[in-house]
Amino acid sequence: MTRLSVNINKFATLRNARGGNNPDLIKVALDCERFGAQGITVHPRPDERHIRYEDVFQLKAQIKTEFNIEGNPLEQKFVDLVLANKPEQVTLVPDASNQLTSNHGWDTIQHQQFLKDIIATFHQANIRVSIFVDPSTQMIENAVHTGTDRIELYTEHYAKHYAIDKTHAIKEYITSANLAHQLGMAINAGHDLDLNNLAYLKNNIPHLAEVSIGHALVCDAIYLGLENTIQLYLKQLQ
């Protein structure tokens, strides 16, 4: 079964727009769990424009499902945050500090030693590690040398081309997933996945362990309601 981890960053963006605590991020996370989500994802950034560092501590104390913290380990503050909270999973993303959203995976050749060292640090704390990668056989072949437990396939290209030619759009992802599995790495996926393209991805990507979805899910929830939306996403993963 492919697990659904709900990225709650956009709920934090909405809260921060007016100050105060509406919506209540802890309640949102607990409701996502209650409605069936198997994990909660946060991606704190240095400017704390959505998830605040204090949110991470509060969420860790409350949620019962898998906790996944995403971010760039070049930021020591991020590394310290992860080690202090010891989530079930940390997802390493090569974002610039001022980047609007993730837009590429790691170069696992150029950054191989850095990734190897930081992954070893998280492994010492018994934290599972996933690294963000593009669907490139070269990047995946070199990802295994970092010691990562999982890769997270960056799915923007798939989502962008799904409506044009879904068979072609997913081809390199199938190849990449098969290779990662052969090399002993589990497979996650995320970015621009939604109710239109999720089921096709799940049905064609072998060994897909987890998807992390935030923006599209929150947008759907505005129209459909959060509980109904989570059920619809879970249905796509069945």
Catalytic residue, chosen from 33, 50, 152, 191, is 191
Catalytic residue, chosen from 43, 50, 66, 152, is 43
> Rounded to the nearest 5°, which phi and psi values hold at 113?
-65, -40
DSSP sequence for 82-124: HHHH--SEEEE----TT-SS------TTTTHHHHHHHHHHHHH
Indicate if the alpha-carbon torsion angle 25, 31, 34, 37 is positive or negative. negative
Q: Which of 101, 182, 105, 102 is nearest to 136 (CA)?
A: 105
For residue 88, indicate whether it is catalytic.
no
Give the whole-angstrom CA distance, residue 85 versus residue 56. 8
For residue 70, indicate whether it is catalytic.
yes
Place of tokens 């974002």: 95
Catalytic residue, chosen from 33, 50, 66, 70, is 70
> Rounded to the nearest 5°, which phi and psi values hold at 4?
-105, 120
Give the whole-angstrom CA distance, residue 164 versus residue 39. 31
For residue 123, indicate whether it is catalytic.
no
- CB 8 within 8 Å of CB 55: no
Catalytic residue annotation: 43, 70, 191
